[in-house]
Amino acid sequence: MTTSLSPEDRLRAAGQRITSQRLLLLRLLDASDGHLDAESLFHAAQQEMPEINLSTIYRNLEVLTRAGLVAQRYFARDHSREYFELATTAEHYHFTCTQCGKIIEFETPLIAQVRSDLKRQHNVNIRHACICFEGLCPDCIPQSQP
């Protein structure tokens, strides 16, 4: 069981340079529930660091993702925008409500099962998977007349 490291130690452990922009990004992701896009992170970051640039956000999200500290996700049918969350949480998947935008996280061993079946049956080496669902959350499902 790992005591969660400070942003600085996480960067160090990942062999990345420690910059105030990266620390800020990690702090913002720590503070949020995750599932933020570059633009939202940019706006949040500007509160503390008004001179920070959007391309710095993008570049660092890529660095952090490749370093394994952050996970990039797609939600909803429209994959036009990338979202990010800390990679520290356990493997889980997402359901997005197309009406209100709520994201429901869930776990299941079945995806791991799919992966191992796929690996065994087709002799492939799986490096990455994108699994997401969308539809209406309980609050947004129209009720039938009582």
Partner DNA sequence: TCCTTTTTGCGAATGATTTGCAAATATCGG
Partner DNA sequence: CCGATATTTGCAAATCATTCGCAAAAAGGA
Residue 105 near Mn ion by CB under 5 A? yes
Residues 90-109 that bind Zn ion (CB under 5 A): 97, 99-100, 102
- Establish how many alpha carbons lie within 13 A of residue 98's alpha carbon, considering only the half-sphere containing its beta carbon: 10
Cα 138 from Cα 97, distance rounded (Å): 9
Binding DNA (rule: CB under 7 A), the pick from 5, 35, 37, 86 is 37
- Choose the contact partner of 137 out of Mn ion, Zn ion, DNA, none; CB within 5 to 8 A by kind: Zn ion
Six-digit token string for 32: 């949020």
Strand intervals (E) in 5-118: 36-37, 70-73, 83-86, 93-97, 103-106
Which CB sits closer to Zn ion, 33 or 139?
139
Which CB sits closer to DNA, 52 or 69?
52
Residue 120 near its own copies by CB under 8 A? no
Residue 126 near its own copies by CB under 8 A? yes
CA 137 and chain centroid, separation: 20
